[in-house]
Chain A
Amino acid sequence: MKFLAYLVSGISLGSIYAIIALGYTMVYGIAKMLNFAHGDVIMVGGYISYIAASNLGLPPLISVLLAMAVCTVLGITIEALAYRPLRSAPKLAVLITAIGVSYFLQNSALLIFGANPKAYSPVVSGTLQLFGGQLSVSYVSLLTVACCIVIMVGLTLFTGRTRMGKAMRACSEDKGAAQLMGINVNRTISLTFAIGSALAAVAGALLCSFSPTLMPTTGSMPGIKAFTAAVFGGIGSIPGAFLGGILLGVIESLAKAYISTQLSNSIVFAVLIVILLVRPAGLLGKHTQEKV
Chain B
Amino acid sequence: MKKLNLSKGARTDLLTYAGVILAFIVVSTLKNNGGLNRSQVGLLVPICCYIVMAVSLNLVVGILGDLSLGHAGFMSVGAFSGIITAMALAEAIPSAPLRLALAMVVGAVCAAIFGFLIGIPVLRLSGDYLAIVTLAFGEILKEIITCLLVGVDENGLHVIFNYNGAKNANDLNLAAGGRIIIKGAQGATGTQTIASFTAGFVLILITLIVVQNLIRSRQGRAIMAVRDNRIAAEAVGISITRYKMMAFVTSASLAGAAGALFGLNYSNLAAAKFDFNTSILVLVFVVLGGLGNIWGSIIATVVLYILPEALRGFANYRMLIYAVVLILVMLTTNNPIMKGYLASLREKLGKRSEKEANEA
| B241 on the A face (CB < 8 A) | no
**A100, B326: Cβ atoms under 8 Å?**
yes
| B323 on the A face (CB < 8 A) | yes
- Using CB atoms, name the residue of chain A closest to B324: A104
Instruction: Give the interface segment out of A175-183, A190-198, A200-208, A269-277.
Output: A269-277
Q: Can you list, as one digit per residue, whether each of A239-268 has a CB less than 8 Å from chain B (1) or not (0)? A: 000000000000000000001111101100
Instruction: Give the interface segment out of B10-18, B138-146, B192-200, B257-265.
Output: B138-146
Q: Can you list, as one digit per residue, whether each of A65-108 has a CB less than 8 Å from chain B (1) or not (0)? A: 00000000000000000100110111111011101110110011
**B331, A266: Cβ atoms under 8 Å?**
no
**Given the contacts A92-B67, A110-B316, A111-B320, A85 and B137 also touching, CB distance less than 8 Å:** no
B115 to chain A, nearest CB (A): 15
Which parts of A4-52 form the interface with B (CB within 8 Å)?
A: 28, 34, 36
**A96, B283: Cβ atoms under 8 Å?**
yes
**Given the contacts A99-B280, A265-B139, A280 and B316 also touching, CB distance less than 8 Å:** no
Q: In the docked arrangement, what's the CA distance between A39 and B55, Å?
A: 29
| B75 on the A face (CB < 8 A) | no
Instruction: Give the interface segment out of B125-133, B217-225, B247-255.
Output: B125-133
B269 to chain A, nearest CB (A): 18
| A174 on the B face (CB < 8 A) | no
- Using CB atoms, name the residue of chain B closest to A89: B334
Which parts of B327-350 form the interface with A (CB within 8 Å)?
A: 327, 330-331, 333-336
Which parts of B212-259 form the interface with A (CB within 8 Å)?
A: 230-231
**B231, A93: Cβ atoms under 8 Å?**
no
**A261, B136: Cβ atoms under 8 Å?**
no
Range of interface residues on A (Cβ < 8 Å): 35 or more
* Residues from chain B with Cβ under 8 Å of A235 in the complex: 128-129
* Residues from chain B with Cβ under 8 Å of A110 in the complex: 316, 319
**Given the contacts A34-B131, A92-B291, A280-B125, A99 and B317 also touching, CB distance less than 8 Å:** no
**A262, B147: Cβ atoms under 8 Å?**
yes
**A103, B335: Cβ atoms under 8 Å?**
no
**A276, B331: Cβ atoms under 8 Å?**
no
Which parts of A189-227 form the interface with B (CB within 8 Å)?
A: 224, 227
Q: In the docked arrangement, what's the CA distance between A92 and B288, Å?
A: 10
* Residues from chain A with Cβ under 8 Å of B61 in the complex: 92
B260 to chain A, nearest CB (A): 23
* Residues from chain A with Cβ under 8 Å of B327 in the complex: 82, 97, 100-101, 104
Partner of B164 from the list A82, A91, A262 (CB cut-off 8 Å) is A262
Q: Can you list, as one digit per residue, whether each of B269-299 has a CB less than 8 Å from chain A (1) or not (0)? A: 0000000100010011001100100000000
- Using CB atoms, name the residue of chain B closest to A28: B128
**A276, B129: Cβ atoms under 8 Å?**
yes
| B135 on the A face (CB < 8 A) | yes
* Residues from chain B with Cβ under 8 Å of A276 in the complex: 121, 124-125, 129, 133
A189 to chain B, nearest CB (A): 17
| A228 on the B face (CB < 8 A) | yes
**B335, A266: Cβ atoms under 8 Å?**
no
| B165 on the A face (CB < 8 A) | yes
**A34, B128: Cβ atoms under 8 Å?**
yes
The residues of B with any CB-CB pair to A shorter than 8 Å are 61, 67, 121, 124-125, 128-129, 131-133, 135-137, 139-140, 143-144, 146-147, 162-165, 185, 230-231, 276, 280, 283-284, 287-288, 291, 316-317, 319-320, 322-324, 326-327, 330-331, 333-336
CB-defined A-B contacts under 8 Å, sample of 10 = A34-B128, A96-B288, A100-B327, A101-B323, A103-B319, A228-B132, A261-B164, A266-B140, A266-B143, A269-B139
The residues of A with any CB-CB pair to B shorter than 8 Å are 28, 34, 36, 82, 85-86, 88-93, 95-97, 99-101, 103-104, 107-108, 110-111, 224, 227-228, 231, 235, 259-263, 265-266, 269-270, 272-273, 276-277, 280-281, 290, 292
